[in-house]
Structure 1
Amino acid sequence: MKKILTLLVLFLLSYTAVDAQASHRALRRGDQAYKDKNYAEARKEYDEALADENSAKGNYNLGNALYEQGEFEEAAKRYEEAASLATDDEVSSRAYRNLADAQYQQQQYEEAVESYKRSLRINPDDKETKYNLSKAIRQIQAQEEQQQQQNQDSQSGDSEEQQDQQGGDGNPQNGENGQQQQGEQNQDQQQQQQGQQQDSADSQEGQSSTEGQPDATPQDARMSRAEAERQLEIAAQAEKETMKRLRKGDAQGCRSDKEW
């Protein structure tokens, strides 16, 4: 039984060694295709290498091929896997830096900043990573400034709209003034018409007196017109008071405490 277990262990070790060799050969083919800028072929070879052995180097190189093809989201996943599998600080630092580059390409600037920082914790002297970190930080600042400008523009637009609405609320007041002037003109016309009617009535009374009815003295006639004018004046004043109360009520109806 012990002999069988020993043979099984040897077989597994041999099988693992064969897989490692196959993975290594696929990685070498992928590296050559990558050097030739044949990224599709390189991707195929790296996928084959990972099928035989899930290694940090395989994921890192596959991430590079995907990055060159513009597949930044998939490349980021491979860089993350490479960083988690890496036992070498240099590989880990490069994986985080390339992860940050992929995130930067997707405009994920805050995530990119964090990944650049993780890379620099491992390799603080990497000037390229420091430069890329500064670019990502500037992008975040630009986004914040743009957002602030948009907020200011939005507030300015709301203020202008509120002013327009307030100006619109003032228009009925102008209309009320026009109505007041029109009402006064109508009153003057009514007074003139009533005066003309009274003159006509007085004239008719004079004509009737010549037909045998009691004569009215000129003083009585003047008293009658004066009384009529006084009544008209009283009516006109009452109408003005009524119009004034109506206008006051309309003005109150136009007020609004709503905050726009």
Structure 2
Amino acid sequence: MKTLILLISMSISIVVLAQEERKHIRDGNKSYNDSKFEESEISYRKAIDKSPNSFNAAFNLGDALYKQEKYEEAANQFQALASRDLSKEDLAKVYHNLGNSYLQAGKYQESIDSYKQALRNNANDLETKYNLSYAMRMIQQQQQNKDQNQENDDKNKEQQEQQNKDKQEQEKEQQNQEQQKEKENKEQQEQQNQEISKEDAQRMLDAMQNDEKEAQEKMKKAQVRTQKVKVEKDW
């Protein structure tokens, strides 16, 4: 009797939870269709609280996150769903949306891998094929931009190194010129000093000669006077 009551209670609880789950999903879908994605996210999370294994609630939650541009969260949501035991049809949908989330997040290689997984489960999905082609073009463009940026960086680095080299050479040349000018000024100063010394020596020599000449003249005059004096005394 107790067992019967327990089974009946469990059945009623499961039915109530399922009804609440569906109600939250319906509310979430309505908000989603009205572009009220934050409200739809709340409703889908409530549905998951009532039924953690609900595929529809979890899948729609990923869509609501995607619409809010929460691409990383959306990718995590779809990645978690992909690990479940799902049908090929559901797996194709999950990987398709996972690829879209990675694509918007700029993770092109991850999006390509996801689209390929989607096509393994549904090879006829044209939208997935188109998105795969687009993602492949984007990763090619990304690589080209990376190569171009690297080329520009190398070119800028080379130009900078050349500028530094030219600057060093210019500074060295300027230093050499200053040293040469300093040397020339020093030599010129020494030469001027030597010329001044020669002039001084010549002036000194001339002065000495003049002094000697004057001295000789004075001596001559003195001798003449002395002779005259002597003559006067003899007379």
Query: Could you tell me the TM-score, scaled by structure 1's length?
Result: 0.69
Matched residue type, 1:49: A
Task: Map 1:122-137 onto structure 2 (within 5 A).
Answer: 122-137=121-136
Matched residue type, 1:111: E
Name the SS for the 1:70 alignment partner: coil
Equivalent pair of 1:56/1:85 in contact (CA under 8 Å): no
Match among 4, 11, 14 for residue 12 of structure 2: 14
User: Could you say what the CA RMSD is over the residues aligned between the two structures, in angstroms?
Assistant: 2.6
Equivalent pair of 1:20/1:52 in contact (CA under 8 Å): yes
CA distance in structure 2 between the partners assigned to 1:23 and 1:210 by the alignment: 134
- Asked if 1:102 corresponds to 2:89, the answer is no
**Distance 1:89-1:178 versus aligned 2 partners, 3 A rule:** same
**Distance 1:178-1:38 versus aligned 2 partners, 3 A rule:** closer
Task: Map 1:1-260 onto structure 2 (within 5 A).
Answer: 3-54=1-52, 55-85=54-84, 87-170=86-169, 171-212=171-212
The number of aligned residues is: 211
Task: Map Cα deviations across residues 19-49 of structure 1 (whole Å, 9 max, x no partner).
Answer: 2233223323433343343434433332232
Structure 2 regions of 5+ residues with no counterpart?
214-235
1:93 shift after superposition: 0.9
**Distance 1:206-1:146 versus aligned 2 partners, 3 A rule:** same
**Larger Rg, first or second structure (1 or 2):** 2
Name the SS for the 1:201 alignment partner: helix
Structure 1 regions of 5+ residues with no counterpart?
214-260
Task: Map Cα deviations across residues 139-166 of structure 1 (whole Å, 9 max, x no partner).
Answer: 2222222222222222222222222222
1:249 match: none
Percentage of pairs with the same residue: 29
1:221 match: none
Matched residue type, 1:46: Y
Name the SS for the 2:69 alignment partner: coil
Task: Map Cα deviations across residues 51-75 of structure 1 (whole Å, 9 max, x no partner).
Answer: 2212111111122222223332332
**Distance 1:48-1:193 versus aligned 2 partners, 3 A rule:** closer
1:196 shift after superposition: 4.0
Matched residue type, 1:70: E
CA distance in structure 1 between the partners assigned to 2:185 and 2:30 by the alignment: 99
Name the SS for the 1:212 alignment partner: helix
**Distance 1:68-1:162 versus aligned 2 partners, 3 A rule:** closer
